Structure formats: C-alpha cells, structure tokens
Amino acid sequence: MRDENEMLRLAFEACPAAMLLIDGAGRIELANGESERMFGFGPSELTGQSVENLLPANLRAAHRHHRAGFAAAPAKRQMGTGRDLVALRRDGSEFFIEVGLTPIDTALGAKVVAFAIDVGARRDADHALRRALGELETANGNLARFAYVASHDIQEPLRKISAFADILNAAMTKDDLDEARYAADVMASSARHARRLVADLLAYARAAHQSPAVEPVSIKAALERALEALSLTIAETKAEIAWTGEDFSVEADRPQLHQLLQNILSNALKYHKSNLPPQVTLHLEPGKAENHLTIADRGIGFASADAEAIFEPFRRLHGRGDYPGTGIGLAICKTVAQRHGWRLSAISTPTVGSAFEIVFPVAAGAGRGAEL
C-alpha cells in the first residue's frame, strides 16, 4: 500500500497540469505542485480543503450540485472536452480553467482525479483572433464598397473634363470665345473637384492605415486650432460660436484629432439655414471614466434614419450644387475615432439642427491638466 501511494504521488508530481485527487465528499486528498502554483497555495495547503474553495463564492452551490450529479453517474471526461470554469486563486483573483475528470475506485471508496489547465491566455488569443477576423471582414466589405463608389465619383469629373475638352476644341475652331471660356471654366472646376477628391481619399487612407502617434492634447486647444483654420468661413458666414463646460486632455494623434474636429465644425458651418448665420455650440464635459465633447448646430439637420449612413464614404444627403464637398469628411472622422478607441455618433432633427458627440475613454493616470 505504501508503494502504491508513493507511485501515485510521483505520478501526480510528474504531471505538467494541475492535478487533484478528490474524495466523495469533495475534499482534496492530494494536490501536485502545479496545482499549488496555479491556485497560489503553498505545499500541502490544499490538502483537506473543499474543492469548492477553488471556485468563486457565487458558483459553489451550483458546483456542489454538478458534483453530486457526476458522482451518481461517473464518466471519464477527456482533457480539452470538459467544462470551462472560472476558478479562484488564493489572492481572490479569478481566471479561466479547463478541467478533465476521471472517476476511480479505490479500496477506500470512489474518488475523482481532476486535471486542470489555465486557459486564460488561450481564450484571450481566441477572442483576439475572432475580433481581428471580424474587423478584417468588415474592412474587406468597406474596401469593396469604397472602391466601387470611389471609382464612380472619380470618373465624374474626368468625364466632364473629357467632354468639355471636345467642346473647347470646337469653340476654338469656330472662334467662339464665350463657349470656349465656358468650357474652360467647367474643366477647371472639374479638375479642382478631382483634386479635392484625391486629397480626401489620401486623408481617408492615412486615417484608416496609419498608426496614431498619441500624446496628451488639450481638447480646447485642438478646437481653437480647428476654428482658426476655418476663420475665413466663420467671418464670411458671420457664424456664432458658443462654448460651455471645462477643458480636458485626450490621448490623441494631434493632426488626426485636428482633422476630425475641423471636419465636423466645417459641416456645422456649411449646413446652416439660408436665412440665418451658423450657430454652433461646443460643450466640453470631463468625467472620471469618460470625457465628452458635443458639437451642436442649429442648421438644416437630417433624418434620424441617416445617423449612421452619414459616416459612410461618399454618402451625400444633398446635391453638390447645393452644398459642395466630396462626401468623405465624416467618413474620415469615423475612421479616426475608431482608430483611437473613441465613440463618435450623431443625432439630428430636420430643420432643427444636429449634434455630434465624441466620447473619449479616460486613460489611466490622465487628468484635467492638458498639454497645449
């Protein structure tokens, strides 16, 4: 008997997984060194404890029920096909384990050999892989839609340039200066639009693929810089800009943050009512877990059904003749926000106005002391 016990002990210690011998009452009779390391106990400290002590308190009653069911109909469960359980370390921290159970009959009664491995790292890797696959699938879908729409929008000014080049040649042949000037003006306008389109496409590509170089940035300073860049438009439209709330700092790629803010502010200035100057309110709201920035206007607004569609590339709710632009600005904003882990959303009511909200999760150790 002593020889058998010694062999059993050596087999337990040789196992690279955590290994426990549990009696019919759920008491641990034997634990190897790996189980003591995994659960944070010292040598022999697990012996005599209830196996439920290795589970969070809220799971112990259910586990006792499952253990009773297993005892009534014991069956071997292979490692890798067992149950994922949340286990409890001695220090109170929780982690995921995978278990395998083998019932054995001994001269002292029925017992269970339990094998356990920490699968936390594997679960994290699986979740990361599934998340990456989901993002890849979304990116591929966006790329296909983007390529189709981009090719259509780029072809439009090129078709105009080609068509009006023929008109220009015909006008020059007839010495029709008015027709020639008209054709040249259309070609120049189309060329400018194509150039803006290409520039916005490059900006969108950079926002989607360039890793942000983050640093602490004052949101108020970033807004002031964006407003300075739009100062001519503000002056021409006699726009009214109001501020509320307190400044806070965000971890951001400074140029990308400025571009995001400038694009949203530009929209607020552009889509104003024809009989009123633009009215824009900037509300800054610092918080413990999240900081909020809301850019609200009293412009023409849009239907709530379009609240997601407006962030799609080339999605325009109005004709270019009414409101110029390429339809990429808000798509760039959404991409910048996603790359930084921010949440960007919009709510709007037609003829009443729109509000764009950006939620910035607060980084550990971040405070209100922003760097300019």
Fold classification of 212-372 is: Heat Shock Protein 90 (3.30.565)
Tokens of 251: 């971890």
Report the chain's C-alpha Rg in angstroms.
33
Q: Give me the pLDDT at residue 157, please.
A: 78
10-residue averages of pLDDT along the chain (372 residues): 64 82 90 91 91 91 85 70 76 89 81 87 84 76 62 72 90 90 89 76 67 87 93 92 95 90 91 89 94 94 84 64 64 88 92 94 55 36
pLDDT of residue 366: 47
- How many Cβ atoms sit within 10 Å of the Cβ of residue 126? 11
**Residue closest to 36 by CA, chosen among 58, 54, 57, 10:** 54
Sheet holding 94-106, edge to edge: 28-31, 18-22, 109-118, 94-106, 84-88
- Portions of the chain given CATH number 1.10.287.130: 120-209
pTM beyond cutoff 0.85: no
The first and second tokens of residue 92, run together, are 């109170």
- Domain 120-209: state its class: mainly alpha
Distances 338 to 139, 201, 219, 253, 332 between C-alpha atoms, Å: 12, 17, 17, 12, 10
CATH 3.30.565.10: which residues of the chain?
212-372
Q: Could you say which architecture CATH assigns to the domain 2-118?
A: 2-Layer Sandwich (3.30)
